[in-house]
Structure 1
C-alpha cells in the first residue's frame, strides 16, 4: 500500500505474492496517443522495478559489422590531407573536405545542398560506433556528442535522420526489411503451447515504433507460475484503433487459444474496450473477463478530482482482498465526496476491486507486467521491422532455454512447488504462534482465528476459517489461491497438510511445462524453404520524416 495511509487489516505487510507498484498521477488514458513530433527516445523513463530475466537483450545476436566504408568505421579517412593521399570514391573525398573545414570553423558550400556545415551523413559517420554499441541511445545524448566533437549543435531532426542511417547500415534497409519479413516468418513457423500452463490472464497494451516508419507494436503478456514474464503475442499495426485491436485479439484467440475464462487486464482505452465488447465477441463472459489497471484508474481519478490523499484511499479499496476491508475504504471515499463514489460506480466492481473479481487476477492489479516488457522492447522499437522480429525471436528462444533448464533442475532436486510460492509460504507461516484459534465443530473444519497485535503492520482482527469450504474471510486465499496465515494456524491445529490447499498451477511441473517446448535455431537464409507468397512494403504515409523544412528532408 502507499505510504501515508494506514492499513485496515494487515495489508501494510509487504506481501511477496502481490505486486507493489507506484502510481504515476500523470498517466492518463490519452497517454497512448500518437506523439505530434518525433519523440526523444529515452531521456525520461518512468522508474520501476523490472524482472531481471527480461532485462538483458543481446542486440548483437543478429547484427553484421556493416559500416559506411568497406573496411568498417575504424577505417574512415583521416581528417587531414597528405601529399599523395588517395580516396576510394568521390563521397570519401567530400566527407574529408567537410570534416577538415568543420574542425577549423571554415565555411564551405556544396552545390547540391544549402547546408554550410553539418549534414546527416557527416553526423552518421561520427555517431556510428555509439549507435552500434547502444541502439537505444537517445537523440539528445547524440546531439551532445556531435556538439562536443564539431563545436556546433545540430538540430534534433538532423541527428535523428543520421541515427536512422546508422540503424539502416547496421540492421538493413528499412523498406527491404518489410519485404523480407514474410519469407522469414514462413521459415520459422512453429507452434508452442506455453500459455496453456501459465496463469489464466494476459495484460495487453501497445507501444509506439520510433524508427523511419511509425506504427504501434501491440503485445499480449502473460506470467508463468514462478513470476516470470512471458510475451505470447506480437502484432505491428498502424495505430491503436478498434479495428487494429479486433484484428489482434481475433488472432490471439485463434492461434494462442487462451484458457476458458481468461482474464484480460488493460487500461481504459476506448479502442480496447470496443474490440473486447463488440457484438459476437468471444472476449466477453463466460469466455473471457475484462478488468482495468489500477494505475490508470488512479491517474483518471487525479484528472477528475486532484486529491492525492483520496487517490490512496481508492487504491487501497481496489487492492482490498475482503469485502470488509473494501467497505472500510469505500466508506471513507463516500464520506469525503459522494461525487467520487458516483464516478467510481460507473465501473462494475468486478473490473476494478480485487475482492469482487472471484480470484481471477491472481494479485495482478496493474498492467505493469506489460510495462516491464515495454521498457525492454523500447530499445528495439527504433529498428527496422526485421530486426525487431528477429530480436524478439532470438531473445524468447534464449529465455525458453534458460527458464526451462532452471525449472528442470528444480524438478530433479525434488522441488514440489515454485520458488515464488515457497517464499510466500515461508512469509505466511512466520506468524502461526502469534494468533489464537478457536474450534467450533467436531470435524475440525470450522475455526475462528484471532490475530494479536504482535503481527507486524496489523491491527487485532478476528477471521473465520472454513477449511472444508475453502473460505477464509481475510480474502487472501480467494485472491491468490495459496494458503494465508490464518489457514496455516487452522491446518496446524487440525493436523492437516497445507499443500492440499495450494492451486495446482503453482507446482514445479506446471512451471516446467511452460518452457517444455523449444524454439528452432535459424540457419542461413540460403537453406530456407522457397517462398512464393505475397510481399510486404511499408505504408509511405507512415514515414516519420514528413515534417520540417524542405532542405532538411532533402538532406535525408
Structure 2
C-alpha cells in the first residue's frame, strides 16, 4: 500500500481526542524508554518517568503505569535474568573473538537429563592480561555481593599501576564467599599469574581466603588489610579512644624504631589489644616486619573502589553485568592511554607530583659524602640518615619500600649529580605506562551477525539456586565492624535552636538565644 496524499488536520471530535491518553500503554512507553536503560545505563527511576513521558509524549500517566513501563523497558534493554544464563557462553565466545587473549570458563552442574545449572564463571580480558607484566606484583582481592534476582558473589583481583591507578585483573561469579569458590578462583588465576616468592596478596581476614591461598599460592606472601584491622580494633576496644589510630600508625610505620614506639604505646594503653595483635601475627599486618614488598598498598581499598564503581552493575542480569564491566574497562583504557600519551615526563604524573614534594622537603637538608655513592643527610632536628644511591636504599626505609627516592635521597642525588629518573623504579616510568594500556578493549558484536559453534549454544542453561528471602531485596552494603559507628556519627544532625528552627542555625551560632 502506498500513501500518495494525506491530510494532517484532525477530524476527530473533542470527545475522541480527549481519550488519547488511554492509547499510551505500558508497551508504547517501554519502547520510548528502552534506549535509556541499554548499554549499561542506569536510566530513570519510576518516580521520574511521568515527567519524562509528559515532556516527550505530552501525556500524563500514573505512577503504577510508569513502574510497569520501566520494568518492560529494562527487560527489553537488558534481557531477563533467566535468559542471560542461556546466552552467557555465546556472549563470552564473541568477547574472546574480538579481544584476543581473553580467558574465560563457565562451570555448570548437571540437573536431570538435560538441564545445566550455573555454578561458577571466571573471565579476564586479554587487555588486562597484557598489563600484568607491567604491574608491581601486589594483588588486591576482595568479594562483593551480587544484588540481582539470582544472588551470588563477585570475586575480584586487582593491581595498581605505576600511576597509582586501579587496574582490575580478574573477575569471578560464584555462589558465595566460601573456601571452595575462592580455591576455584585462585586456580584460574594461577594460570595467568603464577605462584612466586615475590608475589604479594592483600585482603581482609576472611578465613576462606587464607585456606585457599595456602593451597594454590603456597609461595606467595599474604598481608592483612590495615583498614579492616583498624575497624576491628575500633569495634573491639571502643572505650579506648585513639587506640585504633595508633594501630593504623604502627601498621604503616617504615622503621623498626617507629613501630616499636607505637606498639609500646598500644601495650601501655591496652595489653589485651596488644595480645590480640600478636595473635594475628606482627609480620602479617605491619609494613616493617612484612616478608614481601607491598609498596604503598597497605589496604584493600582498591578493591572496595572497584566494588563501588560496579555497584549498579551488580543489579543487572549476568550478561549485562559482564558487558557493563567490559564497557567500564574500555573507557578506563582509552582515558589512561590518552593521558599517558600526552604526558611527556620520564616518570608518571602521580610519581612526578610525589617527587616534587620530596624535592621541596630536601631543600633544607645537610649532605655529607662518605663515598661516591654513600652519603649522610641530616635534617634540622639533628637526625641523620644514610643513603646508598647505588643500592637505592635509605635508613628511613621509604626509598626501598616504595621504589621512589625520598627527600634524603634527592638531597644526596643533587650533590652527586645523579639524574632523578635513574633512581625511580622501572614500574613508574612513563614508557612502561604507555605500553601498559597499548592494547584496545574492543566492543562485542551482535550474535545474529556471526556463526556460533554448536558447543557454545546452551539452550538448557538454567540459573543457580538462590533463596532471596522475603521482603524487598537489600541494595545498600552492610557496613563492617567499626565502619557502622562512623556512619551513624555522620548522620547525627546538629541540635537546633527552637527559635531558629528551619533557618539552618544551630545553637552555637544562634544570634537570638532563648534567655
Q: Would the TM-score normalized by the shorter structure come out above 0.5?
A: yes
| Distance change >3 Å, CA 138–CA 276, structure 1 → 2 | farther
Q: How does 1:101-120 map to 2 (within 5 A)?
A: none
On the 8 A contact 2:157/2:168 being kept in 1, the answer is: yes
Q: How does 1:435-514 map to 2 (within 5 A)?
A: 435-439=365-369, 441=370, 443-452=371-380, 461-514=383-436
> Residues 202-261 of structure 1: CA distance to partner in whole angstroms, max 9, x if unpaired?
111111111111111111111111122111111111111111111111111113557762
* Cα distance in structure 1, aligned partners of 2:61 and 2:448: 44
Quote the residue 1:223 is aligned against.
Answer: 160
Matched, 1:418 2:341: no
Give the secondary-structure state (helix, strand or coil) at the position aligned to 1:522. coil
* Cα distance in structure 2, aligned partners of 1:477 and 1:264: 21
Note the C-alpha offset of 1:384: 0.9
Quote the residue 2:79 is aligned against.
Answer: 172
Query: Which of 284, 296, 314 pairs up with 2:247?
Result: 314
| Distance change >3 Å, CA 408–CA 547, structure 1 → 2 | same
Note the C-alpha offset of 1:142: 7.9
* Cα distance in structure 2, aligned partners of 1:361 and 1:175: 42
The one of the two structures with greater contact order (alpha-carbon pairs below 8 A, sep at least 6) is 1
Note the C-alpha offset of 1:399: 2.3
Structure 1 portions without partners, runs of 5+: 1-80, 97-120, 454-459, 550-556
* Cα distance in structure 1, aligned partners of 2:175 and 2:375: 57
> Residues 403-438 of structure 1: CA distance to partner in whole angstroms, max 9, x if unpaired?
22332343xx4x321111111111101122312233
Quote the residue 1:212 is aligned against.
Answer: 149
| Distance change >3 Å, CA 540–CA 409, structure 1 → 2 | closer
Number of residue pairs aligned between Structure 1 and Structure 2 = 417
* Cα distance in structure 2, aligned partners of 1:524 and 1:249: 32
List 4+ stretches of structure 1 deviating above 4 A. Answer: 81-88, 127-131, 133-145, 149-152, 159-166, 256-260
Quote the residue 1:374 is aligned against.
Answer: 307
| Distance change >3 Å, CA 540–CA 182, structure 1 → 2 | closer
| Distance change >3 Å, CA 293–CA 538, structure 1 → 2 | farther
Q: How does 1:123-272 map to 2 (within 5 A)?
A: 132=37, 166-189=73-96, 190-191=100-101, 192=126, 193-257=130-194, 261-272=198-209
* Cα distance in structure 1, aligned partners of 2:88 and 2:294: 36
* Cα distance in structure 2, aligned partners of 1:519 and 1:151: 43
* Cα distance in structure 2, aligned partners of 1:519 and 1:343: 46
Note the C-alpha offset of 1:520: 3.0
> Residues 286-333 of structure 1: CA distance to partner in whole angstroms, max 9, x if unpaired?
xx2111111101111123211340111110001111112111111111
Quote the residue 2:237 is aligned against.
Answer: 305
Matched, 1:432 2:366: no
| Distance change >3 Å, CA 84–CA 341, structure 1 → 2 | closer
Structure 2 portions without partners, runs of 5+: 1-13, 52-59, 102-125, 473-515
Quote the residue 1:55 is aligned against.
Answer: none
| Distance change >3 Å, CA 129–CA 452, structure 1 → 2 | farther
Quote the residue 2:265 is aligned against.
Answer: 332
Quote the residue 1:10 is aligned against.
Answer: none
* Cα distance in structure 1, aligned partners of 2:300 and 2:214: 19
| Distance change >3 Å, CA 173–CA 539, structure 1 → 2 | closer
Note the C-alpha offset of 1:519: 2.4
Give the secondary-structure state (helix, strand or coil) at the position aligned to 2:350. helix
Quote the residue 1:387 is aligned against.
Answer: 320
* Cα distance in structure 1, aligned partners of 2:250 and 2:438: 39
* Cα distance in structure 2, aligned partners of 1:228 and 1:316: 24
On the 8 A contact 2:137/2:198 being kept in 1, the answer is: yes
Moved more, 384-393 or 356-365: 356-365
Quote the residue 1:295 is aligned against.
Answer: 227
| Distance change >3 Å, CA 420–CA 176, structure 1 → 2 | same
Give the secondary-structure state (helix, strand or coil) at the position aligned to 1:345. helix
| Distance change >3 Å, CA 323–CA 502, structure 1 → 2 | same
Note the C-alpha offset of 1:401: 2.9
On the 8 A contact 1:164/1:212 being kept in 2, the answer is: no
Quote the residue 1:547 is aligned against.
Answer: 470
> Residues 85-134 of structure 1: CA distance to partner in whole angstroms, max 9, x if unpaired?
9999xxx88x97xxxxxxxxxxxxxxxxxxxxxxxx89x97x96898499
On the 8 A contact 1:264/1:291 being kept in 2, the answer is: yes
